[in-house]
Amino acid sequence: MGVRRATVDDAAAIERIRVETWRATYRGLLPDGLIDQLQPNVERRRERLRMAGPSELVFVAQEGADVVGYAFAGPERARDPEYAGEVYAIYVLPAAQGKGHGRALIRECARALASRGLTSMLIWVLRENQIGRGFYERLGGTAVREKQLEEFPGAEEHVEVGYGWKDTRGLVA
Ligand SMILES: CC(C)(COP(=O)(O)OP(=O)(O)OC[C@H]1O[C@@H](n2cnc3c(N)ncnc32)[C@H](O)[C@@H]1OP(=O)(O)O)[C@@H](O)C(=O)NCCC(=O)NCCS
């Protein structure tokens, strides 16, 4: 078990985790059409990993040789006045949840952001996603922002909640 930086060769695992965990998490919360059309896109993921700039952080969590979770992080994307860093996404396969991978991934994100001078952090989560919200609250995050879900046509009535950490030192310790 452990967390490491991702390489392009993690693209297939990341895509499998993205699709499987998305389906398990959002079925019933987001429109079925959106869930059904979700497909792994390994080539696109490889390309994104290959092109990632120095400020884009991608970590994977492993159980033995298997990659079971991932997180993307970097600078906050919307010029938030208070939060400098952001975790863009974090997903752990359903069968591997509850074993500490999520905490380890968040910790590495917070550590890497802090080493770049980004010591505050924001994470957006669907308002109805009680698993995600419970997890962020357990890790000391506070619900500080709200916005409409933007990226998915047909799901604009959904709201995302932003969880903030004003100082990530407690998370990293
Ligand atoms: C949210 C998620 C990343 C958490 O990862 P995980 O590996 O299951 O979490 P961990 O095992 O590291 O849990 C860390 C701590 O949070 C607690 N926790 C986890 N989920 C919780 C919940 N829903 N409510 C309360 N506490 C929770 C754990 O008990 C643990 O506490 P402890 O260390 O004091 O025992 C994972 O469940 C997941 O991928 N869920 C589906 C996708 C998702 O919702 N992603 C986030 C939104 S973008």
Amino acid 173: pLDDT: 83
CATH code for the domain of 164: 3.40.630.30
The rounded Cα 172 to chain-centroid distance in angstroms is 17
| Mean pLDDT on 100-123 | 98
Number of folded domains that form the chain: 1
Distance (Å, whole) CA 80 – CA 9: 33
Establish whether residue 59 lines the binding site of ligand 1, counting it when its CB lies within 6 angstroms of any ligand atom: no
Q: Per-residue pLDDT tens for 21-51?
A: 999 999 999 999 999 999 999 999 999 999 9
3-state secondary structure of 81: coil
Establish whether residue 103 lines the binding site of ligand 1, counting it when its CB lies within 6 angstroms of any ligand atom: yes
Q: What band does 153 get if pLDDT is binned at 50, 70 and 90?
A: confident
Choose the residue to mutate in 29, 122, 131 for probing ligand 1, maximizing ligand atoms within 8 Å of C-beta: 131
Distance (Å, whole) CA 131 – CA 57: 23
Amino acid 122: pLDDT: 98
Q: Inform me whether the pLDDT recorded for 1 exceeds 80.
A: no
Q: Per-residue pLDDT tens for 127-150?
A: 999 999 999 999 999 999 999 988
Amino acid 107: pLDDT: 98
| Mean pLDDT on 14-21 | 98
Q: Inform me whether the pLDDT recorded for 154 exceeds 80.
A: no
Amino acid 157: pLDDT: 84
Distance (Å, whole) CA 126 – CA 136: 12
Q: At a CB cut-off of 8 Å and minimum separation 6, what does 172 contact?
A: 107, 110, 111, 114
* Structural domain boundaries enclosing 70: 2-172
In this structure, the number of other CB atoms found within 10 A of the CB of residue 6 comes to: 21
Amino acid 138: pLDDT: 97
The alpha carbon of 77 and the centre of ligand 1 are apart by a number of angstroms equal to: 24
C-alpha distances (whole Å) from 129 to each of 53, 101, 103, 159 are: 30, 18, 17, 10
Q: Per-residue pLDDT tens for 55-100?
A: 999 999 999 999 999 999 999 999 999 999 999 999 999 999 999 9
In this structure, the number of other CB atoms found within 10 A of the CB of residue 118 comes to: 21
Q: Are strands 121-126 and 142-148 parallel, antiparallel or unpaired?
A: unpaired
Q: Per-residue pLDDT tens for 2-14?
A: 999 999 999 999 9
Q: What is the DSSP code (8-state) at residue 78?
A: S
Q: Are strands 66-75 and 121-126 parallel, antiparallel or unpaired?
A: unpaired
